[in-house]
Structure 1
Amino acid sequence: MASKPPPPSPAHLLRTHGAAIKALAFSDDNERLYSGDADGTVAVTNTRTLRPVAVWKAHTDGLLGIQEWDGQIVTHGRDNKLHVWQRVQEPAAALGNSAAPLGLQTPQLCYSMDVNALNYCRFSLLPLAGASCTKECHALIAVPNLVESSFADVWTLPSRKRMHAAIGKGGRPDVPSLDGRSTNSTGIIMSMHLYETTHPHTSGRTILRLLCGYENGAVTCWGYTRTDKETSIEGIGWDALWNVRLHVESVMAMAVSRDNSFALTISADHLIGRYDIKTIEEDNADADTACTAHRTKHPGNASIDIHHDGRVCAVGGWDGKIRLYSTKSLKSLGTLEYHRTSCQAVVFARPYPASGAEGSTNTDEADDEMDEGDKVERGRWLAAGGQDQRVSLWTLMDFGGSREK
């Protein structure tokens, strides 16, 4: 009788931090991995050498979120601060194979914002392009309201002007509870995602949407419906387009596909919520039928991310295990075991475009240190961070994302 193959092991382990890992993010080109811990320390790791190029105390309390954007780094902490830092420029020696020790850098702070971090809800950044991008507004950023954690605000960056205030105050949804009684108490916002969608009646125009996961297990999609004003106060002009409650516990984390066609949520319960945003918006489908709760055998989940091809998701559990699922059927695709305590952050690397890469005119000498196969392999990485203060890097198989439908 053939023996079972050995369980997969991490391809790499990073031990830069001295506290539980709370946030992870890859740069768009996969060259850098950002990690933040419960003490407020942020590390930037070169993914070629797997050495840190910057480690600094970004916040006085734990990290909620990190993201590289427009040559800068956005960090969000439990200290009620959101900082924007200048991205570090890596020394030339860091790109080679030199074993010489390199001095760690500290990024320059560009500007900061006071935010409300009571509810552990990280920011949601929406970079702007084309005519929407102006000198004062390169991106929109959504955060919990400064006063009331059940509402949301949208600010402009880098000007830091509040564009929309108290989203959710002007039209709270009536979400039925699991026992059939009606209640307006959604509780505080636990997770949010800001995005744009095409205006249904005006060509070339977009409208804002804000997807919010709440303390009572509900998810609501808010839409800004006014056309006469670009700003709002007291939630005026923001309507609840749909709302569904799939979880029996608070929404712990939410992930949205890159094309904003669907979202997934996890909680302390054993459910994974799936929300078919595209079907609701384009086909006017009923949200109660387009959103479904999938039962798993594993309660207690802390983190989730969706692969860029939209086919696979990773869920980090309180037991330290990372479980992979099909995003369409939520069928289990496997389990990764290394962390012994809660896995509180998971993130997929960006797939490397292997097709069409030949004949590239990129003459960067640093590219000589990593061949095509290495870049493809790095594009299949999954990073996970646990309370054990370690970051594990896994090289995943191709689940079929490269196949054309």
Structure 2
Amino acid sequence: MSRPPPEPLYILRGSGATVNSLHFCCGGDGPPFLYSGSGKGAIHMWNLTTRRAERILESHAGNSVIWLHTFKDSRSRFVSQGRDLRVCVWDLSEDRRTVTDSLLTGSVGFCQCSLLETRPGAALLAHPTENMEEVSVVEVKSWTPVCTLKPDSKLGMLMCMKMWQADSGPVLCAGYEDGSLVLWDVSHRRPFSCLKAHPEPVMCLDIDVCKQKGISGSSEKILQSWTLDNQQNLQMHDSVQMTNPGVSQLRIRVDGKVLATAGWDNNIRVLGWKKLKPLAVLQHHTDMEWLQ
């Protein structure tokens, strides 16, 4: 007989509203933290040792926080994206709680930004724009535009994206409303390849850079994995049938062994990343899940 799903080790309470974004900060000195962003604009910094919120920041004029990310070079700096159409950079050093800079994206969609730290103190931010098909890449410190990426063909709204550093330079994979994935060469502002991965909009994606293999989910019941060859061509790989339709988010664990999906059925599913073998279904939540 299969074992029952594990129970939560502990539960963090007190967010005050629906939690729409999460980000772990576990490197460097000090205890591990979990950052959470709520539907009412509150950002909680949860100390995972004491299991309490050490700081609560009111942000984005009370609008939902849909994305959070800390900088590797400093635990006191992080960036947030809200439904007020802004991206904010925060400085928490010396007990500050201030937004040091912000960028108006103009995007009314739900596509999360992607941050790539190219070297210590320097980072690129890919963000959606008011043009629903477009990705803009900017330097974080100066907000200097690097490039704008827009497909030549009609693929519909930008839904999700992930940027990483390849040998040839920054690369970005974007998922679109018609179910297509486009792999972009950021340095040369052109697409490497395009793949029609789903019949429905691509809701989420992640990539294992070491294995040159990624995975995406949509409103259907299929998780689709895909690979990159030496010429950066996207190619279909394995797929797995889900019990219920709809995946809002997925993440590959940093060691490349486990994949977690957040389903529209309120369940978190854990699969082995190598063969997409189901490992566990976590059924504690009562509303749609978001992973980060």
Instruction: Say whether the 8 Å CA contact 2:23–2:35 is kept in structure 1.
Output: yes
2:179 corresponds, among 217, 242, 246, to 217
Going from structure 1 to structure 2, the CA distance change for 1:56 and 1:126 (only over 3 Å counts) comes to same
TM-score w.r.t. length of structure 2: 0.90
Q: Which residue of 2 aligns with 1:10?
A: 8
Query: Quick one: distance in 2 between partners of 1:116 and 1:255?
Result: 25
Q: Which residue of 2 aligns with 1:377?
A: none
Going from structure 1 to structure 2, the CA distance change for 1:16 and 1:319 (only over 3 Å counts) comes to same
1:123 corresponds, among 97, 110, 113, to 113
Q: Report whether the alignment pairs 1:78 with 2:83.
A: yes
Structure 2 unaligned blocks of 5 or more: none
C-alpha offsets along residues 332-361 of structure 1, whole Å, 9 cap, x if unaligned? 111111012211x224xxxxxxxxxxxxxx
Runs of 4+ with deviation above 4 angstroms = 3-6
TM-score w.r.t. length of structure 1: 0.66
Instruction: Say whether the 8 Å CA contact 2:217–2:223 is kept in structure 1.
Output: yes
What is the deviation of 1:260? 7.0
Higher CA-based Rg: 1
Counting matched residue pairs gives: 285
Q: SS at 1:191's partner residue? A: strand
Q: Report whether the alignment pairs 1:238 with 2:228.
A: no
Query: What aligned pairs does 1:258-277 form with structure 2 within 5 A after superposition?
Result: 259=210, 261-277=212-228
Going from structure 1 to structure 2, the CA distance change for 1:334 and 1:127 (only over 3 Å counts) comes to same
Q: Report whether the alignment pairs 1:303 with 2:226.
A: no
Query: Quick one: distance in 2 between partners of 1:148 and 1:285?
Result: 26
What is the deviation of 1:123? 0.9
Q: SS at 1:12's partner residue? A: coil
C-alpha offsets along residues 196-243 of structure 1, whole Å, 9 cap, x if unaligned? 2113xxxxxxx2211101111111101146xxxxxxxxxxx4222111
Instruction: Say whether the 8 Å CA contact 2:192–2:232 is kept in structure 1.
Output: no
Q: Which residue of 2 aligns with 1:328?
A: 274
Q: Which residue of 2 aligns with 1:168?
A: 150
Query: Quick one: distance in 1 between partners of 2:211 and 2:114?
Result: 13
2:167 corresponds, among 188, 198, 201, to 198
Going from structure 1 to structure 2, the CA distance change for 1:43 and 1:341 (only over 3 Å counts) comes to same
Query: Quick one: distance in 2 between partners of 1:195 and 1:7?
Result: 34
Q: Which residue of 2 aligns with 1:372?
A: none
The code of the aligned residue for 2:150 comes to G
Going from structure 1 to structure 2, the CA distance change for 1:106 and 1:266 (only over 3 Å counts) comes to farther
Identity %: 24
2:155 corresponds, among 186, 205, 212, to 186
Q: Which residue of 1 aligns with 2:123?
A: 139
Query: Quick one: distance in 2 between partners of 1:299 and 1:54?
Result: 37
Going from structure 1 to structure 2, the CA distance change for 1:195 and 1:7 (only over 3 Å counts) comes to closer
